[in-house]
Amino acid sequence: MRYLGPGAFSPDLIDHAAGSFLFTEDGRRILDFTSGQMSAILGHSHPDIVDTVRRQIGTLDHLFSGMLSRPVVELARRLAESLPEPLSKVLLLSTGAESNEAAIRMAKLVTGKHEIVSFARSWHGMTQAAANATYSAGRKGYGPSSPGNFAIPAPNTYRPDFLAADGSLDWQRQLDFGFELIDAQSVGSLAACIVEPILSSGGVLDLPVGYLAALQQKCRERGMLLILDEAQTGLCRTGDWYAFERDGVVPDILTLSKTLGAGLPIAAVITSPEIEAAAHDRGYLFFTTHVSDPLVAAVGNTVLDVLTRDHLDEQAAKLGTFLRSGLLELADRHPAIADIRGRGLLLGVELGGADADQLGAAVTRRCLELGLHMNIVQLPGMGGVFRIAPPLTAAEEELSLGLEILDAALSS
């Protein structure tokens, strides 16, 4: 049996999980520094989530998609209330790829155009339109993608390709150049640009301050919609409720997924009344089996309850500062650590040197042997980059344990 994905199966069979830890069938304890698939922001088997699932599964789990339930109505209302105007119209789905698929489909219908722009290191999903807008992996060997998908350079402040006078990344010139290429290739049908505020699978690349506003302006000039994919950054992980808040930019369409269900499959597409009305008038269709399911909507409401009650936006900012400080101390002792970046509890650690790929794989294996689950992404032109995303409920002692294990793995 092989893992049909970016890597290999872990050698351990996981028996159960609780909080920040996984427990194997043979009794090993593993600290989870990826929150499952970057999703379990409340840790594993959070008691409030467990109670909600037990209660909801016994009363109302699944409905015909044309029927509404109280959990769905409440979650839509609360998501709208958590966002700036005019983001107030909500469609509830199952996965991140599905929400991006729905958002892109909506943008094409509303604008009457078909061309989609995304970053050259993007990851938006494995379904058709989402995969066409994904450039970090998975494009080779499947035949032609849909016409009209274009990539622009991803801003990498550690490895700048356009240099300012001081040697830093001149992201404005890079962005201008990217859209010069888009304009040259476009047939005049630019519909939307879809990006992550922090490119996670792209190596934890945080967009520079000011970049998102400049990108939105590029979209406005061309009559394009701006879609923000906050699958991994939404709902407090970066220290803000939504990562785009830092930049004072409101997207035309927002997609949420992983963090909304804290490990269970629920996603959302959120847009303005104007865009929703235009889509409705033009016969927008996105019909899936599990649209607006009450079970996972109830879980989404519980996630919002816990995030609000426990002030986990503030907690993520505090723990992120603590974790970054510990990683900087490791960088002082380990020359292999070339860069530390990210926000809140979504941090990237890039390994440098000619053998960075091999070193990253070896450190990942050694961490697991020592009781720490780490994830490393390896892309052309980049050293291996660890994506560190522990639960927002983690304790400082648990983060310290992870740092100790990473230190030992790097040392060995």
Give pLDDT tens digits for 195-237. 999 999 999 999 999 999 999 999 999 999 999 999 999 999 9
Give pLDDT tens digits for 169-192. 999 999 999 999 999 999 999 999
Clarify whether 218 is annotated catalytic: no
Catalytic residue among 101, 229, 247, 339: 229
Q: Mean of the pLDDT values across residues 120-135?
A: 96
Q: Mean of the pLDDT values across residues 391-402?
A: 98
Clarify whether 26 is annotated catalytic: no
Q: Which domain holds residue 214?
A: 51-309
Q: What is the pLDDT of residue 76?
A: 98
How far apart are the C-alpha atoms of 257 and 112, rounded to whole Å? Answer: 26
How far apart are the C-alpha atoms of 325 and 258, rounded to whole Å? Answer: 27
Domain-embedded: residue 3: no
| pLDDT at residue 1 tops 50 | no
Among 288, 309, 330, the domain boundary falls at 309
Catalytic residue among 216, 232, 315, 378: 232
Q: What is the pTM (predicted TM-score) of this model? A: 0.96
Q: Mean of the pLDDT values across residues 284-309?
A: 97
Domain-embedded: residue 2: no
Domain-embedded: residue 209: yes
Q: What is the pLDDT of residue 378?
A: 79
Are 394 and 303 in the same domain?
no
Q: Which of 269, 280, 167, 264 lies closest to 228, judged by CA?
A: 269
Radius of gyration of the chain (CA): 21
Catalytic residue among 115, 196, 350, 398: 196
Q: CA torsion sign, 146 to 113 to 188 to 177?
A: negative
Among 309, 329, 353, the domain boundary falls at 309
Are 269 and 148 in the same domain?
yes
Are 185 and 315 in the same domain?
no
Residue in the structure block whose two tokens are 């785009």: 244
Residues 6+ apart with CB under 8 A from 98: 125, 127, 257, 267, 288
CATH number at residue 369: 3.90.1150.10
How far apart are the C-alpha atoms of 24 and 39, rounded to whole Å? Answer: 20
Are 227 and 104 in the same domain?
yes
Domain-embedded: residue 5: no
Clarify whether 387 is annotated catalytic: yes
Clarify whether 357 is annotated catalytic: no
Domain-embedded: residue 349: yes
Are 36 and 136 in the same domain?
no
Catalytic residue among 32, 113, 115, 123: 123
Structure tokens at 342: 């990210």
Clarify whether 216 is annotated catalytic: no
Are 151 and 233 in the same domain?
yes
Give pLDDT tens digits for 56-97. 999 999 999 999 999 999 999 999 999 999 999 999 999 999
- How many domains is the chain built from? 2
Catalytic residue among 218, 222, 366, 387: 387
Give pLDDT tens digits for 323-355. 999 999 999 999 999 999 999 999 999 999 888
Q: Mean of the pLDDT values across residues 275-279?
A: 98
Q: Which of 405, 356, 398 lies closest to 376, judged by CA?
A: 356
Are 189 and 240 in the same domain?
yes
Among 309, 332, 367, the domain boundary falls at 309
Are 61 and 26 in the same domain?
no
Are 296 and 364 in the same domain?
no
Are 298 and 321 in the same domain?
no
In 223-315, the DSSP E strands lie at: 225-229, 253-256, 267-271
Are 241 and 267 in the same domain?
yes
Q: Which of 98, 140, 104, 19 lies closest to 397, judged by CA?
A: 19
Q: What is the pLDDT of residue 85?
A: 97
Domain-embedded: residue 393: yes
Clarify whether 113 is annotated catalytic: no
Domain-embedded: residue 159: yes
What is the pLDDT of the chain when averaged over all its residues? 96
pLDDT-derived band at 297, boundaries 50, 70, 90: very high
Residue 410, SS3 per DSSP: helix
CATH number at residue 59: 3.40.640.10
pLDDT-derived band at 6, boundaries 50, 70, 90: low
How far apart are the C-alpha atoms of 353 and 324, rounded to whole Å? Answer: 22
- The three-point CA angle 10-13-15 to 5° equals 135
Are 299 and 345 in the same domain?
no
